[in-house]
Every structure is written in C-alpha cells, then in structure tokens.
C-alpha cells in the first residue's frame, strides 16, 4: 500500500456531513424493512436491496466488483476477466445497481457470481460485507456510495476504483459536498482514473494524491480487432449487399438526428446511391426514423431480429433501419462511413471508438461533451472527423469519392484504438503490486 503522506483523512465537518447522510437515510430503511416483513410480495425485490437473500462465499479470497448499469458492466468486464485469468483461487462477485446490468454481467461473465447492490443503508451494507467477506472492493467509474465505502474500509477491505471518471457536469455537484467526498475518497487505497483531468478532480475532491493514477480507459480493451476483409465481404454477401456499394451508417441515432442526416446525404448527391443504415439509440424512435424516410421519399426497410433481405429487395432499398439491440459493431464492420449519433443534437455524443475500431471513417457533430477525450485522441491520429451540420454533405461527398483515402483513414483509426489496449492488464498489475490480490 502506498506510503502515508500525512494528509489528514477525516475532518470534523466531514464527519458531520457523513452523520447527516447516514441519519437521514434511516427512516427510509426502517420503512422498507417494515414492508419486507409485513408484505411478502415485496420480498423478492426488496430482499437483495436490504442485504438479505445473498450468497455466502465460503472458499478463496473474494474480489467484489461494482458497476452501476449495463454499460459500466461491459466496460469493467476486461478487468474482471483479467483477474479471473491471473488469480485462479479468487472468487469473483459483480454487483450492479440495475437488473439490466446484472443480466449483462451474467451474459458476459458466466463464471462470476452476480448480485444487486443493496441500497446505501449501513445495516444493509454490513450484511453484504458479512456474507461476501471480500478482500477487495473494485468500484467502476467512481460510484461514490458513502456507507458502502466507509463500512468496507472499517471492515478492512481494500478499496480500488477502476476506469475512474469525474465528469465536468458532476464535478461542481461533488464540490458542493466536498467535506463528505473527502471523508469518503480519502479511504480509497487506489484510484485508477481515465485521464489526468479525472485524476486532478479526484484529488481536489479529497482523494489521497499518492493513490491516484491516470491509467487510461478500459473500454478500449472491449473493442475487437477489425474484421478481416474476407469476413466483411461474407457479411455483405449475407445481407445481399454488392461489394462496391457505399455504406453509410448512423449509429445510436437520437431524436431529430435522422432527418438531419438524411437531408445531408441528399444534398451530398452521391452517385450511385449509397445504402444508409440507421440504428436508433432507443427502439421507440423507430417510427420517427420511418417517418423521416417517408418525408424524404426514400425506400426504407425496418429489420428486426431474424430478418433477411434478398438481393432484389436490397437493390431497391435506400435506407435500412436496424431495430435490433447489440448489433452496432456488426453494422460498423460493413460501414465505409460512420456518423456517430448524439453528436448532431445536444446529447453529448455516443461511443466513437466502435466505428473507429472497425476501420470506418468516423464523423461526429459538434455535441461531443461526453466523448471529448476520445475524439481528441482519434482526431490527433487522423481517425475521426468533426463536421457541423452545414459541412456534413461536403464531407460525405469527399469521402464517398475516394476509396483509397477511406482505406487509409480506416487503418489509422483501427490502429489508434489498438494502440490503447492493455489498460485492464495494467490495472491488475497495479493491484498486484500493492498486495490487494494474491500472487499465483
């Protein structure tokens, strides 16, 4: 464990904030406990949230990971898998806040015990700690639950953060309760943050400076290598797609973005007509996408799970609406140009690394608050391009007419993603170096 720097851990004001936090939660805790005791139908849902009905792990050191939801679970999965491969005696437990996150953990981490995180009541947290008896608690993306962290620290559990992030939006809110954040974060043994800015913010909020390290983003480890050219050709043939036809995709499209992109493609006047594949961020947007296609008088086809298109159908189709979840990487793998959703309306932007990893020319709009670091990195490596709405038609036209340039950009973007892999292994190395995990 890093040497103590002499920085005081807990101020009197921090103790007051924490006592208030803990005290204000207790009436709700007793109300829920009463519901659990008196209303049997509530027990299935409330039991795990109150620290009841939990597995007891009898053998081997327990490594407890916590991820909030489905996305965070997928992000930290490489670290879980890395530890599973290097610490055979460890028993791995993953907790999530959401049922969808728990379902995702079961899908991708089949040998790992999964639970729902209890509500942050100290009696519930103590029950979980007593049942699991973890050697270390690894928290994904800086979920600050005061009772969880304080009780784990008091129980002698090592505490680490992986893929730590403190966003520009959340930072001012945390600053408002800095005595509490300092009371909590000073207990962390190791904070492995995404960027230098995240690391600086963690220190300002009270984390020990000698325990905070910018290590990079684990989500790069989740991204596959580009499909080989033969596999892409096979996938295009299975879709009935002629190998020469240009494919433009709009991934994770948000409200209002489809109409904007369809208009840009029309103004680009690409000849011959490209195939545009649109994957809405949420399935309730499918009718809106269909209506936008009708207004542009475009022949569109909505494809749900199991649908196929004949070559004749595809020849007539100008837009495919992908009404399927979890297929974006496949879409990007056959895309020549990929437009990232959430960047042309003010949603902060969605993952640009997926299309970049599959060698697609990646284009984003001006709203990139949530992906600013990734975009800066990809642009520096000539792997992504920013285009305002008025510039999008010209950029599409330029790339559509230059296959060699698209290929060069695709190779650069895929290499940029590949060069940042290995963060999960680095995180596990740091935990091993500090004695948080048994050497094997």
- The answer to whether 63 touches 83, Cβ cutoff 8 Å, is yes
| Residue 373: predicted pLDDT | 87
- In angstroms, the CA 231 to CA 228 distance is 5
| Residue 7: predicted pLDDT | 47
Cβ-Cβ contacts under 8 Å for 6 (sequence gap 6 or more) = none
Query: pLDDT tens digits, residue range 223-268?
Result: 988 888 787 777 777 666 766 789 999 999 999 999 999 999 999 9
Cβ-Cβ contacts under 8 Å for 198 (sequence gap 6 or more) = 142, 164, 165, 166, 214
Mean pLDDT on 302-319: 79
Average pLDDT of the chain, as a whole number: 91
- The candidate with the shortest Cα–Cα distance to 107, out of 79, 137, 77, is 77
Mean pLDDT on 62-70: 93
Q: What is the 3-state secondary structure (H, E, C) of 60-124?
A: CCEEEEEECCHHHHHHHHHHHHHHHHHCCCCEEEEEECCHHHHHHHHHHCCCCEEEECCCCCHHH
Where does residue 195 fall: left (phi above 0), alpha (psi -120 to 50 degrees), or beta otherwise?
A: beta
Query: pLDDT tens digits, residue range 325-346?
Result: 777 888 899 999 999 999 999 9
What SS3 state is found at 333?
Answer: helix
- The candidate with the shortest Cα–Cα distance to 363, out of 390, 396, 331, is 396
What is the layout of strands, in order, in the sheet containing 384-386? 300-303, 319-322, 275-280, 247-253, 337-340, 361-364, 384-386
Alpha carbon 189 to chain centroid distance?
24
- In angstroms, the CA 13 to CA 20 distance is 11
| Residue 243: predicted pLDDT | 67
Percent of the chain with pLDDT over 90: 76
Go through the chain and tell me how many residues it has. Answer: 440
**Global pTM?**
0.84
Backbone phi and psi for residue 183, each to the nearest 5 degrees, phi listed first: -60, -35
Domains for the chain: give ranges and CATH numbers. 12-222+422-433 (3.40.50.11720), 229-419 (3.40.50.2000)
Mean pLDDT on 134-161: 95
- In angstroms, the CA 81 to CA 154 distance is 28
What is the CB-side half-sphere exposure of residue 216 using CA atoms within 13 A?
Answer: 16
Q: What is the dihedral of CA 435, 61, 117, 195, to 10 degrees?
A: 20
């Amino acid at each position: 464990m890093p040497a103590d720097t002499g920085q005081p851990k807990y101020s009197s004001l921090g103790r007051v904030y924490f006592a208030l936090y803990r005290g204000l939660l207790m009436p709700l805790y007793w109300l829920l406990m009463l519901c659990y005791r008196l209303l049997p139908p509530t027990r299935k849902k409330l039991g795990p949230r109150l620290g009841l009905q939990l597995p007891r792990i009898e053998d081997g050191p327990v490594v407890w990971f916590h991820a909030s939801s489905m996305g965070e679970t997928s992000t930290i999965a490489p670290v879980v898998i890395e530890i599973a491969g290097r610490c055979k005696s460890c028993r791995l437990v993953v907790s999530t806040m959401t049922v969808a996150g728990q379902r995702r953990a079961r899908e991708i981490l089949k040998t790992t015990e999964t639970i729902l995180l209890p509500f942050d009541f100290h009696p519930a947290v103590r029950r979980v700690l007593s049942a699991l008896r973890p050697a270390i608690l690894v928290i994904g993306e800086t979920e600050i639950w005061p009772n969880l962290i304080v009780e784990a620290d008091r129980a002698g559990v090592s505490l680490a953060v992986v893929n730590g992030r403190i966003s520009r939006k959340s930072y001012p809110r945390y600053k408002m309760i800095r005595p509490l954040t300092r009371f909590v974060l000073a207990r962390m043994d190791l904070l492995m943050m995404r960027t230098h800015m995240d690391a600086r913010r963690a220190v300002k909020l009270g984390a020990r400076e000698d325990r905070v390290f910018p290590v990079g983003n684990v989500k790069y480890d989740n991204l596959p290598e580009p499909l080989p050219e033969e596999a892409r050709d096979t996938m295009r043939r299975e879709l009935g797609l002629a190998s020469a036809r240009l494919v433009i995709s709009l991934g994770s499209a948000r409200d209002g973005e489809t109409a904007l992109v369809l208009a840009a493609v029309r103004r680009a006047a690409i000849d011959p007509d490209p195939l545009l594949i649109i994957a809405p961020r949420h399935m309730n947007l499918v009718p809106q996408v269909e209506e936008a296609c009708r207004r542009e008088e475009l022949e569109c086809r909505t494809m749900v799970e199991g649908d196929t298109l004949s070559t004749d159908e595809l020849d007539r189709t100008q837009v495919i609406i992908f009404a399927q979840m979890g297929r974006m990487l496949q879409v990007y793998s056959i895309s020549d140009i990929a437009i990232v959703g959430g960047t042309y309306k003010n949603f902060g932007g969605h993952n640009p690394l997926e299309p970049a990893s599959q060698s697609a020319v990646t284009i984003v709009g001006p709203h990139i608050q949530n992906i600013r670091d990734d975009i800066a990195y990809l642009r520096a490596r000539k792997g992504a391009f920013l285009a305002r709405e008025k510039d999008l038609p010209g950029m599409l036209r330029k790339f559509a007419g230059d296959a060699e340039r698209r290929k060069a950009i695709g190779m650069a973007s895929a290499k940029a993603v590949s060069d940042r892999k290995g963060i999960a292994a680095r995180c596990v190395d740091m935990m091993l170096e500090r004695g948080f995990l048994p050497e094997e």
